[in-house]
Amino acid sequence: MEEHAAISRAKKEDNHIGGIRSKIANIVMILPYILSFSVFIILPVALAIILSFTNFNSMTFPSFVGLSNYVNLFTTDSVFMQKILPNTLLFAVVCGPVGYILSFLLAWMLAQIPKGPRTVIALAIYSPSLTAGVAMQVVWVAIFSGDANGYLNAFLLNNGFINDAIQWLQSEQFLMPIMMIVTIWSSMGIGFLAMLSGILNIDQELYEAAYVDGLKNRFQEIIYVTVPSMKPQLLFGAVMSVVSTFQAGAIGVQLSGANPTPNYAGSLIVNHIEDYGYIRYEMGYASAISVVLLLFVYLISKVIRRVLTPKE
Amino acid sequence: MSYQGRKINPKHFHPSQIKFYLILVPISLFMILPIIYLFTTAFKPQEELFKFPPSIFVQNPTWKNFQDLFALFASSSVPASRYLFNSILVTVLTVLVSVVLSVSAGYILSKKQFKGRKLLFEINTLALMFVPIAVTIPRFIIIVNLGLIDKFISNILPIVAMPVGLFLIKQFIDQIPDSLIEAARIDGAGEFTILFRVIIPMVKPALATVAILSFQSAWGATEASVYFINDEALKTFAYYIMTFTSASSAATQGISAASALIMFVPNLVIFIVMQSQVMNTMAHSGIK
């Protein structure tokens, strides 16, 4: 009893004397994050929205033009409507779900084998995501290189599948599929690890109970036990996969070595932003494209969240 | 089929696992093959690079590609060591700052009641979807207005706030019982002592994970060198390699691979060293 009273007295004193000091300490702790977060993440998004309503060439002060950037984007920019938008949609619709489902299935299979081999195989699957950027470009450009020395060409020539080397990365027909393969290859990143660890942490008793209740096979096991028990990790993985899919937007330019890509075959929204922003210096227009991209990501994530949020 | 004992995370090999190996092993080979290529090409001498048909493996490994890479730098005005030094400095500082920012903010968001706390975390979760590449223009404008163009620090500042870092650490701190913090407070610990003596030792796996993620983003970052910095002497290694590899041809394939390897290996080593910590963190990664 006495001890209890001492504790509550100590607490009170703490509130009186240490209260202000600890308040200041708390503010000091959270302020740096809030500041850098606001200045380099929130503010740029806000600024992009504002600039999207202006005409801005980066030299003179931006002039307000209302919605005309958006109107132009959707009505007169034929490259955007005919190439960029369909390309981006196709790319996102293929890479997002395929990468996501694949990472779930791989994670699930990995959870069925013992730790030693699991760690090695998981590392092999995860390591491509570490190559993002420079290393990825070097590897795949060599594999799909257009001369007879490219690995794929050499393999196909040698086995008599083709007679002449194919310019894989300069071809309208092949560039997009190659971009998809490379993106999916490198997409088993942090979302994949989250799912793997989510599956491994499911309580074993849930499975036992479910089998007692009449679960029949592995497939039912996934549907009725695994997926419902790891919805939070599935959601995290989904958000990460959406982001990395859109962030990978520069890949067509990296592979083909040109912006715009050959006849825009591999150009995505991100390249269009760069094209207008840094090649033509139409920053207002480029900002409008950025806003459309951010809205895109936001809407997709919103839908995913609705589907995957655990029901209370 | 009835329940047959342990299935998830088995301790030992069992014939029923063979079907999984049959799928997993070929897929992991496909995933790792380009990386093996990277390693072998970096060590291939000229004549093997031009051999037809090309072979995946190297017969006479050599360091020549690496020597050539650094010789190439020597002919430019800024030596390779300078770019490398810049990159190391940028990476070390970014990792340190972003981990400290994430853990201190994560502690407050997790354990303190204040107005706007929920909203702040909600905005941060929303920012997980943030696509940095979409806002290079406004970021450029902000950097100009802060007078940070051509300042070394503009390599670091834009990437220290990591929404995913704060998110993971906050979820992890949520697991720490309040009574531990209360006990430390009764012992007379101030807020900073609690943060450094109680919280940080308990969330080490999450810190390691955030450090890895921040390392990867800083080590490979080219945004600042491309847009915010004109002074060659302040740019990073990743940037230099990027400009070099985008102009590459078959003749420089070996050098490209050598430089790509320099970019890739640190990521790999750090991940291997810390992978168990990462898995531990990911168990708490869910968005609820």
What size, in residues, is chain B? 288
Structure confidence by residue, pLDDT tens digits, A47-96 = 999 999 999 887 788 889 989 999 999 999 999 999 999 999 999 889 98
Q: What is the pLDDT of residue B102?
A: 96
**Contact criterion met (CB below 8 Å) for A41 and B127:** yes
* A247/B164 Cα distance (integer angstroms): 15
Burial call A297-307: b when 16+ CB within 10 Å, e when fewer: beebbeebbee
Rounded to whole angstroms, the maximal C-alpha distance in chain B is 74
Q: What is the pLDDT of residue A4?
A: 59
Chain B, 144 to 163: residues with Cβ < 8 Å from chain A are 146, 157-161, 163
Q: Does B108 touch chain A if contact means CB atoms closer than 8 Å?
A: yes
Q: What is the pLDDT of residue A177?
A: 93
In A, which residues are within 8 Å of B2 by CB distance?
211
**Contact criterion met (CB below 8 Å) for A51 and A284:** yes
pLDDT of residue B2 exceeding 50? no
Provide the pLDDT confidence category of residue A288 given band limits of 50, 70 and 90: very high
pLDDT of residue A311 exceeding 50? yes
Structure confidence by residue, pLDDT tens digits, B141-167 = 899 999 999 999 999 999 999 999 999
Q: What is the pLDDT of residue A10?
A: 52
Q: Does B8 touch chain A if contact means CB atoms closer than 8 Å?
A: yes
* A91/B96 Cα distance (integer angstroms): 36
| Three-class secondary structure of residue B135 per DSSP | helix
Two structure tokens written together for B161: 């706030």
Q: Could you tell me what percent of chain B has a pLDDT over 90?
A: 42
| Three-class secondary structure of residue A152 per DSSP | helix
Domain ranges of chain A: 2-51, 77-308
pLDDT of residue A164 exceeding 90? no
Interface A-B, measured as beta-carbon pairs within 8 A, has a size of 313
User: Which of B28, B47, B243 is the best residue to mutate to test the A interface, defined by the most A CB atoms within 10 Å of its own CB?
Assistant: B28
* A293/A269 Cα distance (integer angstroms): 7
Q: Could you tell me what percent of chain A has a pLDDT over 90?
A: 34
Provide the pLDDT confidence category of residue B170 given band limits of 50, 70 and 90: very high
**Contact criterion met (CB below 8 Å) for A126 and B271:** yes
**Contact criterion met (CB below 8 Å) for A229 and A206:** yes
pLDDT of residue B173 exceeding 70? yes
pLDDT of residue B5 exceeding 60? no
Which is nearest to B194 in space by CA: B204, B206, B185?
Answer: B185
**Are the beta carbons of B10 and A114 separated by less than 8 Å?**
yes
Tell whether domain A77-308 is in CATH 1.10.260.40: no
Q: Does A154 touch chain B if contact means CB atoms closer than 8 Å?
A: yes
**Are the beta carbons of A216 and B1 separated by less than 8 Å?**
yes
Mean pLDDT of A193-220: 86
* B9/B192 Cα distance (integer angstroms): 39
* A237/A103 Cα distance (integer angstroms): 9
Terminal C-alpha separation, chain B:
34
DSSP strands (E only) in chain A: 54-55, 63-64
Q: Which amino acid is at A227?
A: V
Mean pLDDT of B268-283: 86
pLDDT of residue A282 exceeding 80? yes
**Are the beta carbons of B261 and A135 separated by less than 8 Å?**
yes
Q: In chain B, what are the domains?
A: 17-62 (no CATH), 76-284 (1.10.3720.10)
**Contact criterion met (CB below 8 Å) for A233 and A182:** no
pLDDT of residue B196 exceeding 90? yes
- Mean pLDDT value across chain A: 86
Name every residue whose Cβ is closer than 8 Å to that of residue A163 and which is 6 or more positions away in sequence.
A157
* B178/A180 Cα distance (integer angstroms): 47
Beta bridge partner(s), residue A55:
A63
Q: What is the pLDDT of residue A191?
A: 87
Provide the pLDDT confidence category of residue B249 given band limits of 50, 70 and 90: low
A10 compared with A46, residue with greater pLDDT: A46
**Are the beta carbons of B31 and A185 separated by less than 8 Å?**
yes
Structure confidence by residue, pLDDT tens digits, A18-48 = 678 888 999 999 999 999 999 999 999 999 9
Q: In this complex, which of B20, B41, B146 lies closest to A113 when CB atoms are compared?
A: B20
Chain B residue nearest residue A126, CA to CA:
B31
| Three-class secondary structure of residue B160 per DSSP | coil
What size, in residues, is chain A? 312
| C-alpha A67: how far from chain center | 29
pLDDT of residue B247 exceeding 70? no
pLDDT of residue A1 exceeding 60? no
* A173/A265 Cα distance (integer angstroms): 8
